[in-house]
Structure 1
């Protein structure tokens, strides 16, 4: 089962690289259009609050796809309703290029004691590192490094986003959304849903905390 899941992740990544060609964005043009985004995401894409994700350095391909899905109503984010109406694919690519050209400011990881389903109390960061780097064979959770790299830098050509430096609270929220099926923007391959459905609350909280401290 685990081998099949890894094969699915790999094939999906190769497929995205081969078939999802898009026009390159112009960061200079995107800067002017991105001005309204500053209220929530910061002028350079580094949100000042964990209520909103950092979008600096996420990767142009990934961010372009997410902006298109938000514009087209395929991804429901109440705060974004109407924000991208009327924007062309090229304009969204330009905005993505602008934010992706910026450096992500590190959020910094915070450790805490975490109680596992077994009753064992562990360090959230130590357990999070274990899950991120090695997965969990018993619960059929693959390592996150396969798509997001050992340092959380992502895989821009394949459309896998950078995670390092992101707020732990936001990562946890998204993993829970993928697990419940509330978020389904991972395509027909269901990469993230296939991973998150096997993750416990403790695994999600731990890996989210660990990721926030990667750089």
Structure 2
């Protein structure tokens, strides 16, 4: 179980679930399975380091689907190789229920300037808020609120994770992974890959920073 779900679930990223199963989890049983996970993700799923995503409050369905994707190798993360192989689907559901039951702590946004493709530097927080709430009509980027809610709390029953409060660096990394086609856990619908293909680096960094302080 060492490094369980290390560097993996976000969800920041973030991100549309593939919708594999709906197994019911037991948080109390899940708590007994995650002792070794605290080194990366914190005892309650609130990781201290941006390299490791916060798992607290991401949503039970999303967390379960991501762990199943890792176990069946449709989501490949070197640090997770073999880590979930000995766990049953019910074990994974219990872990998902435990982390989902915990409140996420806000990482917080920071003052930021980002450089647009034109070379113009703009207020990153203002750009992040604009793209998150309204998208970019000129380039075809849709608003994030449609799936992840105006407050960034996601849609747990639908499998869309909470984003608000997640580490900005982790969110930005996952958005770039979707944009490059390296992350495919948005399934056949390719929702996140379709969204991010139109996002500039400036928009990704700005949205990620805005989300980290959204509540």
Could you tell me the TM-score, scaled by structure 2's length?
Answer: 0.90
Once the two structures are TM-superposed, the CA of residue 36 in structure 1 deviates from its matched residue by: 1.4
The higher radius of gyration belongs to: 1
How many residue pairs get aligned? The number is 199
Instruction: Please identify, of 183-192 and 117-126, the stretch whose mean Cα deviation from structure 2 is larger.
Output: 117-126
Give the structure with the higher percent helix. 1
Partner of 1:24: 24
- Secondary structure of 1:122's counterpart equals strand
| Residues 2-51 of structure 1 deviation map (CA, whole Å, 9 limit, x = unaligned) | xxxxxxxxxxx9x95xxx65221000000011111111111110111001
Could you tell me the TM-score, scaled by structure 1's length?
Answer: 0.90
Gaps of 5+ in 1: 1-12
Matches within 5 A, 1:1-215: 22-215=22-215
CA distance in 2, matches of 1:165, 1:79: 24
| Residues 173-198 of structure 1 deviation map (CA, whole Å, 9 limit, x = unaligned) | 00000000011110000000000001
Cα RMSD for the two superposed structures: 1.4
Once the two structures are TM-superposed, the CA of residue 120 in structure 1 deviates from its matched residue by: 2.1
CA distance in 1, matches of 2:37, 2:73: 18
- Secondary structure of 1:157's counterpart equals coil
Once the two structures are TM-superposed, the CA of residue 118 in structure 1 deviates from its matched residue by: 2.1
Q: CA contact under 8 A between 2:129 and 2:207: conserved in structure 1? A: yes
CA distance in 2, matches of 1:141, 1:84: 35
Task: Write out the 4+ residue segments of structure 1 that deviate beyond 3 Å after TM superposition.
Answer: none
CA distance in 2, matches of 1:141, 1:67: 28
CA distance in 2, matches of 1:143, 1:95: 31
- Secondary structure of 2:32's counterpart equals helix
| Residues 105-155 of structure 1 deviation map (CA, whole Å, 9 limit, x = unaligned) | 110001211111122221111000000000000110000000000010000
Gaps of 5+ in 2: 1-15
